[in-house]
């Protein structure tokens, strides 16, 4: 195993991590911005108003994106396992 293949494995691992975390983080960011805008417009400063909708939207995003996340993770694991077999 040379240095280039190790770097490629690391790069693909980081890319998969971004693909898995990106949609969930984006959903949390968008709902956070919408709630902050709503609070600024109405001058309501309630802490539960920010917390509860974020949790609900993140759980909904997890349920919605779970098939994509599982497929991506399965393909990456299969790629790693096949690489282990060829190196061993």
pLDDT score for 84 = 86
* pLDDT tens digits along 2-43: 888 889 999 999 999 999 999 999 999 999 999 999 999 998
pLDDT score for 1 = 73
Specify the long-range contacts of residues 36-40, CB closer than 8 Å, at least 24 apart.
none
pLDDT score for 88 = 67
* pLDDT tens digits along 47-58: 888 899 999 999
pLDDT score for 64 = 97
44: left (phi over 0), alpha (psi -120 to 50) or beta: beta
pLDDT score for 76 = 96
Task: Pick the more confident residue, 68 or 88.
Answer: 68
């Amino acid at each position: 195993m040379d240095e280039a293949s190790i770097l490629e494995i690391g790069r693909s691992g980081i890319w998969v991590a971004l693909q898995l975390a990106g949609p969930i983080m984006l959903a949390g960011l968008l709902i956070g911005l919408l709630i902050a805008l709503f609070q600024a417009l109405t001058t309501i400063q309630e802490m539960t108003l920010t917390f509860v909708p974020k949790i609900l939207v993140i759980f909904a995003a997890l349920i919605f994106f779970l098939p994509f996340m599982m497929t991506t993770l399965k393909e990456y694991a299969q790629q790693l396992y096949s690489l282990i077999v060829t190196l061993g």
